[in-house]
Amino acid sequence: MWNFKRVGASGVLQVTPERFVLDVTLGFLLGTYKDRIEAELLQNLMQRLADAPTNHPVSVNSYPIQPGQ
C-alpha cells in the first residue's frame, strides 16, 4: 500500500498480484479537472498494461473520481 499526499490531491494505491486500486481525493481546484485526470490515468494505465508481458486478460473498472471525498 502506498499513501500519497500532494497539494490538491491525496490518496492510496493498493497493489496485489491480481489487481490494483487507486483511491484519490481531489481538492477544489484539481476537482475541476477530474474528467481529464481520470482519462489520462486510464490512458496511461492501458498503455502500460498493453506493453507488459502477461498471459492474463486485462480489464479496467473505472469509478468516477469524486472531488473532495
Q: What is the pLDDT of residue 69?
A: 46
Domain residues for the domain of 57 are 1-14+23-69
Residue 16 has pLDDT above 50, yes or no: yes
The DSSP-derived string for 1-26 is: -EEEEETTEEEEEEE-SS-EEEEEEE
- The Cα–Cα gap between 29 and 8 comes to 7
Q: Give the model confidence (pLDDT) of 42-62 as tens digits.
A: 888 888 877 877 666 656 665
Distances from the Cα of 25 to the Cαs of 19, 41, 49, 64, 69, in angstroms? 20, 14, 24, 11, 6
How does pLDDT run across 21-49, given as a tens digit for each residue? 889 999 999 999 999 998 998 888 888 87
Whether the Cβ atoms of residue 26 and residue 68 lie closer than 8 Å to each other: yes
Number of compact structural domains in the chain: 1
